[in-house]
């Protein structure tokens, strides 16, 4: 790990170990849970030790259905709120491992191990293991490859200086068909270098929030490209000293599920092979229907048309025995929006009841609220080489940001077309001439 990364880890640990003493010390609403909590989870949460819940800094409810007997890993478990909730749900035949780097946080969780074992496991020995370590090196924290059925995390991955290492480590830790189910904060744009280093923005889970597109690419590179949005809500940035540091950026708290499929099985877009999935209604708390993600709710006994990726997920995962999934037939074409980004916009828009901005189009940004002042500022003549895009009102490259995110941006990532030279040689869109020709 490089010096910068170690400095970030130390600063984050200091923030959660010393600066914050309870949830009421938070300066923003980023680390405040959003989204509904199922009734059976609420009943368990009400029985947690108050010292544990007093220092809960999560931003969602990353506890999936159907966890009995599962081996669960919680990344950045803090004082253990989700660890003890999961411990009750997996029961004595399951296990929960919580990893956190901050002594003060883990001390609270350790102090109440026996209390929660008595409360939830009827006197059986605790099924919880707490490990001090960093989530970028799960193997060093004693998490063996393929040893976990479910990995959860609540508002932690944004704090990591090496998110690729975290997601790749999760993919390695998961057993085949295992699930990464987590809540975190995401940003509508890449943040400035200043915002990414601001200690309070970082500590409050905003400075390290990934831009959606970068998040999807990082997950895909880790082998977890089939990202499913479960729930989402905007994060209000009301602090008047912090808001000016992130002008035009919208933050969202999102709960995601992504399953580990065999390499090459997940396709980049949802494709229709005429398959259906029928849920048998046998899961606890889901007798009438199983809400799976933004797009799929399975009413009991109903054959629901599913895309190829969803069919593969249902078959490979712990949900397999509760579904009848028909075999793939001939390919009918796309079953939904093409590509990860379009899928993200569609899912976010659905779970936020249309309050999420529409994606930018080839003709320019939508102008909807939420994408700030436009994600594609007009290009300068220097930036575009010929100035045609600026003259035609087209959009140009975003301002440079720090690190490799900036490098990706200037090579044409996101909605912003690449410089004219690249567009010309590739025959694609991105300069005034191409735009007029309607290639996009």
Ligand X SMILES: C[S@@+](CC[C@H](N)C(=O)[O-])C[C@H]1O[C@@H](n2cnc3c(N)ncnc32)[C@H](O)[C@@H]1O
Q: Which residues bind ligand X (CB under 6 A)?
A: 9, 12-13, 16, 31, 56-58, 76-78, 81-82, 100-102, 105, 134-136, 154-156, 159-160, 205
Q: What would the 3-class secondary structure string for 349-370 be?
A: HHHCCCCCCCCCECCECCCCCC
Are 289 and 228 contacting, i.e. CB atoms less than 8 angstroms apart? no
Nearer to ligand X, 134 or 379 (CB): 134
Sign of the CA dihedral running 397, 398, 399, 404: negative
What's phi and psi for 18, nearest 5 deg?
Answer: -120, -50
- For residue 255, the cross-strand partners are 183, 231
| Residue 145: CB minimum distance to ligand X, A | 19
| Residue 361: CB minimum distance to ligand X, A | 36
- For residue 303, the cross-strand partners are 278
DSSP 378: P
436 three-state secondary structure: helix
| Residue 204: CB minimum distance to ligand X, A | 8
| Residue 257: CB minimum distance to ligand X, A | 17
Token pair for 280: 């048998």
Nearer to ligand X, 130 or 376 (CB): 130
- The continuous run of DSSP H or E covering 176 comes out as strand 174-187
Which residue, among 311, 208, 316, 303, has the nearest Cα to 262 in the 3D structure? Answer: 316
- Tell me the CA distances in angstroms from 235 to 60, 185, 194, 200, 367, one per residue in order: 11, 8, 20, 16, 20
398/187 Cα distance (integer angstroms): 15
| Residue 140: CB minimum distance to ligand X, A | 11
| Residue 135: CB minimum distance to ligand X, A | 4
- Tell me the CA distances in angstroms from 313 to 182, 268, 425, one per residue in order: 17, 14, 40
Are 421 and 385 contacting, i.e. CB atoms less than 8 angstroms apart? yes
Nearer to ligand X, 102 or 278 (CB): 102
- Tell me the CA distances in angstroms from 243 to 27, 37, 304, 331, 362, one per residue in order: 12, 29, 44, 48, 30
What's phi and psi for 158, nearest 5 deg?
Answer: -60, -25
Are 22 and 54 contacting, i.e. CB atoms less than 8 angstroms apart? yes
Nearer to ligand X, 137 or 326 (CB): 137
| Residue 107: CB minimum distance to ligand X, A | 11
Nearer to ligand X, 237 or 290 (CB): 237
Nearer to ligand X, 147 or 300 (CB): 147
| Residue 141: CB minimum distance to ligand X, A | 8
Are 249 and 191 contacting, i.e. CB atoms less than 8 angstroms apart? yes
170/303 Cα distance (integer angstroms): 32
| Residue 120: CB minimum distance to ligand X, A | 18
Nearer to ligand X, 251 or 344 (CB): 251
Nearer to ligand X, 31 or 235 (CB): 31
- The continuous run of DSSP H or E covering 377 comes out as none
| Residue 77: CB minimum distance to ligand X, A | 6
| Residue 229: CB minimum distance to ligand X, A | 20
Nearer to ligand X, 9 or 63 (CB): 9
394/229 Cα distance (integer angstroms): 31
Nearer to ligand X, 82 or 179 (CB): 82
Nearer to ligand X, 59 or 313 (CB): 59
């Amino acid at each position: 790990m490089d010096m910068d990364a170690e400095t970030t880890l130390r600063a984050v640990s200091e923030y959660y170990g010393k600066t914050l003493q309870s949830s009421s010390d938070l300066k923003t609403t980023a680390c405040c849970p959003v989204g509904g909590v199922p009734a059976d989870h609420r009943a368990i949460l009400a029985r947690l030790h108050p010292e544990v819940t007093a220092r809960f800094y999560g931003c969602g409810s990353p506890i999936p259905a159907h966890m009995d007997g599962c081996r669960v890993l919680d990344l950045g478990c803090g004082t253990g709120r989700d660890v003890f909730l999961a411990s009750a749900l997996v029961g004595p035949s399951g296990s929960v491992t919580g990893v956190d780097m901050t002594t003060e946080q883990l001390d609270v969780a350790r102090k109440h191990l026996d209390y929660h074992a008595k409360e939830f496991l009827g006197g059986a020995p605790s099924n919880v293991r707490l490990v001090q370590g960093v989530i970028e090196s799960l193997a060093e924290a004693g998490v063996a490859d393929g040893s976990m059925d479910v990995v959860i995390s609540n508002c932690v991955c944004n704090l990591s200086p090496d998110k690729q290492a975290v997601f790749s480590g999760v993919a390695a830790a998961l057993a085949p068909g295992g699930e990464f189910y987590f809540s975190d904060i995401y940003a509508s744009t890449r943040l400035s270098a200043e915002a990414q280093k601001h200690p309070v923005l970082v500590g409050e889970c905003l400075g390290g929030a990934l831009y959606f597109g970068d998040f999807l690419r990082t997950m895909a590179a880790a082998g977890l490209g089939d990202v499913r949005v479960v729930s989402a809500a905007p994060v209000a940035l009301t602090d008047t000293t912090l808001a000016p540091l992130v002008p035009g950026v919208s933050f969202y708290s999102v709960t995601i599920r992504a399953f580990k499929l065999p390499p090459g099985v997940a396709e980049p877009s949802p494709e229709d092979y005429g398959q259906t999935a029928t849920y048998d209604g046998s899961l606890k708390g889901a007798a009438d229907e199983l809400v799976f993600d933004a797009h799929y709710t399975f009413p009991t006994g109903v054959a629901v048309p599913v895309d190829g990726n969803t069919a593969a997920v249902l078959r490979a995962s712990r949900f397999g025995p509760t579904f009848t999934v028909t075999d793939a037939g001939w390919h009918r074409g796309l079953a939904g929006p093409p590509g990860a980004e379009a899928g993200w916009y569609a899912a976010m828009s659905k779970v936020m009841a249309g309050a999420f901005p529409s994606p930018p189009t080839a003709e320019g940004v939508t102008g909807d609220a939420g994408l700030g002042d436009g994600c594609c500022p007009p290009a300068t003549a220097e930036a575009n080489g010929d100035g045609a895009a600026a003259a035609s009102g087209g959009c140009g490259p975003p301002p440079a940001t720090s690190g490799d995110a900036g490098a990706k941006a200037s090579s044409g990532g996101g909605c912003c077309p690449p410089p004219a030279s690249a567009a010309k040689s590739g025959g694609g869109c991105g300069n005034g001439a191409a735009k007029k020709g309607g290639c996009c």
